[in-house]
Amino acid sequence: MPAPNADIVLYGADRTQGVVAVEVGENCAVVYRKFGLFLEEERRPLRLWLLTTEKVDLPGAEWIKLEGEGLNQMALFGALQPWQQARRIIREMHAEHLAYPSPVKTYLTATGITLFKGMSFDELHRMQIDLETQGLSPTDPEARILVIAVSDNRGFEDVLTGPEDEIIARFVRIVQERDPDVIEGHNLYGFDLPFLQERAARCRINLALGRDGSHLRVGAQRNCTIGGTTRPFTHFHIYGRHLIDTLFATQRFDWARGELVSYGLKDVAQALGITEEGRVRLDRRDVQSQMESNEEQVKLYALQDVRETRKLSQIVGATDFYVTQMVPDTYESAAVTGTGEKIDSILVREYLRRGHAIPLSKPPRPYPGGLTECRVTGVVRNVVKADVESLYPSLMLSRRIRPSSDTLDVFLPALEELTRRRLEAKSRAKSATGIDAAYWDGLQSSFKILINSFYGYLAGPFHFNDYDAAEAVTLGGQEVLTTMARLIEERGGRVIEMDTDGVYFQTPPGISGREGEQQFVAEIAAQLPSGIRLAYEGSYAAMISLKMKNYVLVGYDGSKIFKGSALRSRADEPFGREFIAKAVDLLVQGQVEKLGELYRDTLAKLQRGELEPAQFCRRERVTENTFGQALSKRWARILDRVRVGDYVNVYRRTDGTLGLLEEYAHDEDRDHLAEKLYKFALRLKEAVGPDFDRLFPKPRPQGSRKGPLALQTQLDLG
């Protein structure tokens, strides 16, 4: 069997460059291509398909028998309506089949076309929008759009104000005149688009935003994949353009990093160092009154929002752009789907190109996972971290582990080529500057995200999955980590924690300094199996180890890295995060007795009502479940002032219900806050050791006390 052409496998057989959008009509596909600033519209014959295990009477279908077992009957259609009808018939029959819901993805898979070939991310024309509104619900009697800020990555900026109908009409004209390939916004799906659509309907303005003059279309509910979780959202679509929500993109970007405390635009911009100079801060719930008193301030606020969105997109959007060059799907879809689905569609495309059947996925079964072990808890000094670079992909390549159903041998060559291209792109990124460096870094990141998902694909609900192969990978990983730990300890080192592909440890006596640590890691690496690359990842002055995957790393410069929800969560109240940060400092300094002083002092302030309300508020997202019976009682007092998608700062009142920060009435539940403080302290129990109960006695309830005058309450620490 001839080896597959890796370039065709990864990028599809069609070499068409500069495709920025594809839309499917009734009898043809419309392909939009960019040549510099010039846009060309092509019409191509429609090729739609679905697969079954046996022929079915489907009107308008032309059947082709594919080679191999499984889904080996292909029904081809040259028109949209018969294909849609065939999908309905197959679903109603509950027959084994493969048919993508999207006709565009189906067409791209059949033709080998992918978007953005030959383009860099900066060549994509991206427009950013932000709405400032009166009210947060577009159906409220007083609701209206007050401001629409617009910018793009070609230097255009405008802030639209005036009567609502004129604002919306001018926005439509700007989109048509500027003709962007992509429209971006922060919480675009959750707020801006639903609000814009509803207000346009009430103003009787046609949102003709499509490249063909069609209006904004509301789709079905979809799920955005964020790591191992999904978030539902209502999908919108604009003909010939892509919609990118930078809120979702940021969450996906941060999933593995876990560095961002909040995903709000201003917080993210500050954390990533892209905050606009002279940043205006306004309460969005009071924009109407602020428009009356200082309209220019509100306009600047909205303009800074779109500027920060544009900068943010440069950071979080490029990876999905370059992945879209490989995957037969749209940019807006690739930006919300998981990597396993992307790999599956790449494999399906190649098998169909070669006239081969698609295997049926195998049922799940349990199998051993990666090795995770915490051997030491407490405060540990002088810690080194070493990681195996791409452990699972390396094992798959070195041991030739692949799905048994991959009869055309596409899986490993694709992984091999991605790995080769990533190494090349990383090398070029290091030597490049400016736009070139950004291009190569975005490219290597897109390769990395796919590479690291090949193992997960084996154990997912995909057509070429293989649980035996997945088990072989994890057992191989366990073997490598066990060998690493043995080699370290035989040399006199001390292993603190092992997690899947890396290890934290103390070096043997006599080895110190970066050069000595690197040499030690290199000596361990030399004894590992062929194809396994162990890398020195850095060293730390101290590590506070609590339990598996929960620790604090303290750099020699005093910087700290918190890992694990036992130490830090985005849902934590600020006073709790501050308490843990100070407690960590004391632990590292060895000032154990002062931990008790810190605890008692914080507890006293809570019980006397001395903290600012912002310190004990939680930032929560309003979801559909918020309005359900179980949760609505907690939210009873504020349900009429929040809507799905909002992020609000809330605190618990003495009656157990939630209150909004901006409506704080000195009625916080101080007993609840005292209990929360104790729970924060409990997170550090393993590090504190046997003195924990003495230093952190559990507070007794003080009873409900309302108002700021209850300041003389005595601590009852039992």
* Residue where a domain terminates, one of 288, 322, 356: 322
Q: Is residue 651 a contact partner of residue 616, using CB atoms and an 8 Å limit?
A: yes
CATH number where 310 lies: 3.30.420.10
Instruction: Note whether residue 190 is domain-resident.
Output: yes
pLDDT of residue 310: 96
pLDDT of residue 712: 32
Give the residue numbers spanning the domain of 143.
121-322
43 and 178 housed in the same domain: no
Query: Token pair for residue 288?
Result: 């109407």
Q: Is residue 711 a contact partner of residue 608, using CB atoms and an 8 Å limit?
A: yes
Task: List Cα–Cα distances, 50 to 82, 107, 410, in angstroms.
Answer: 11, 11, 21
pLDDT of residue 631: 63
Please say if the pLDDT value at position 708 is more than 80. no
pLDDT of residue 630: 56
Instruction: Note whether residue 480 is domain-resident.
Output: no
Instruction: Note whether residue 482 is domain-resident.
Output: no
pLDDT of residue 717: 32
Half-sphere exposure of 349 (CA within 13 A, CB side): 30
Query: Token pair for residue 212?
Result: 């063909």
Phi, psi of 662 (to 5 degrees): -75, -10
205 and 233 housed in the same domain: yes
pLDDT of residue 707: 38
pLDDT of residue 716: 35
Mean pLDDT of the chain: 91
178 and 277 housed in the same domain: yes
Please give the radius of gyration of the chain, using alpha carbons only, rounded to the nearest integer: 28
Strand partners of residue 649: 619
Please say if the pLDDT value at position 18 is more than 60. yes
Please say if the pLDDT value at position 1 is more than 70. no
Q: Is residue 472 a contact partner of residue 392, using CB atoms and an 8 Å limit?
A: no
Predicted confidence (pLDDT) per residue in 301-357, tens digit? 999 999 999 999 999 999 999 999 999 999 999 999 999 999 999 999 999 999 999
Instruction: Note whether residue 387 is domain-resident.
Output: no
CA angle 77, 83, 86 (to 5 degrees): 120
Burial classification of residue 615, based on how many CB atoms lie within 10 Å of its CB (0-12 exposed, 13-18 middle, 19 or more buried): middle
Q: Record the pTM.
A: 0.85
Which amino acid is present at 497? Answer: E
pLDDT of residue 625: 76
Predicted confidence (pLDDT) per residue in 550-568, tens digit? 999 999 998 888 888 777 7
Angle of helix 593-607 relative to helix 574-589, nearest 10 degrees, comes to: 160
pLDDT of residue 511: 92
Instruction: Note whether residue 590 is domain-resident.
Output: no
Phi, psi of 289 (to 5 degrees): -65, -35
Maximum average pLDDT range among 428-432, 515-519, 643-647 = 515-519
Closest CA to 473 of 488, 457, 487: 457
pLDDT of residue 642: 77
- pLDDT (mean) for 496-523: 94
Element (H, E) at 43: strand 38-45
pLDDT of residue 714: 36
197 and 138 housed in the same domain: yes
Instruction: Note whether residue 401 is domain-resident.
Output: no
134 and 187 housed in the same domain: yes
| Secondary structure, 3-state, 234-297 | EEEECCCCEEEEHHHHHHHHHCCCCCCCCCCHHHHHHHHCCCCCCCCCCCHHHHHHHHHHCHHH
Query: Which position has the token pair 């004209």?
Result: 173
Predicted confidence (pLDDT) per residue in 396-422, tens digit? 999 999 999 999 999 999 999 999 999
Q: Is residue 243 a contact partner of residue 222, using CB atoms and an 8 Å limit?
A: no
Q: Is residue 109 a contact partner of residue 169, using CB atoms and an 8 Å limit?
A: no
278 and 141 housed in the same domain: yes
Predicted confidence (pLDDT) per residue in 229-270, tens digit? 899 999 999 999 999 999 999 999 888 777 787 888 998 999
Please say if the pLDDT value at position 120 is more than 50. yes
192 and 107 housed in the same domain: no
Predicted confidence (pLDDT) per residue in 144-156, tens digit? 999 999 999 999 9
Query: Which position has the token pair 């393993």?
Result: 686
Please say if the pLDDT value at position 459 is more than 50. yes
Least confident stretch, 124-133, 291-300, 699-708: 699-708
Left (φ > 0), alpha (ψ -120 to 50) or beta: where does 60 sit?
A: left
Half-sphere exposure of 36 (CA within 13 A, CB side): 1
Instruction: Note whether residue 450 is domain-resident.
Output: no
Q: Is residue 624 a contact partner of residue 190, using CB atoms and an 8 Å limit?
A: no
pLDDT of residue 172: 97
306 and 159 housed in the same domain: yes
190 and 244 housed in the same domain: yes
318 and 231 housed in the same domain: yes
Please say if the pLDDT value at position 718 is more than 50. no
- pLDDT (mean) for 582-605: 94
461 CB contacts (<8 Å, ≥6 apart)?
Answer: 361, 364
Instruction: Note whether residue 36 is domain-resident.
Output: yes
* Residue where a domain terminates, one of 322, 337, 354: 322
Q: Is residue 603 a contact partner of residue 702, using CB atoms and an 8 Å limit?
A: no
| Secondary structure, 3-state, 346-362 | HHHHHHHHCCECECCCC
Least confident stretch, 65-69, 606-610, 675-679, 698-702: 698-702
* Residue where a domain terminates, one of 115, 141, 173: 115
CA–chain centroid gap for 393, Å, is: 22
40 and 146 housed in the same domain: no
159 and 194 housed in the same domain: yes
- Structural domain total, the chain: 2
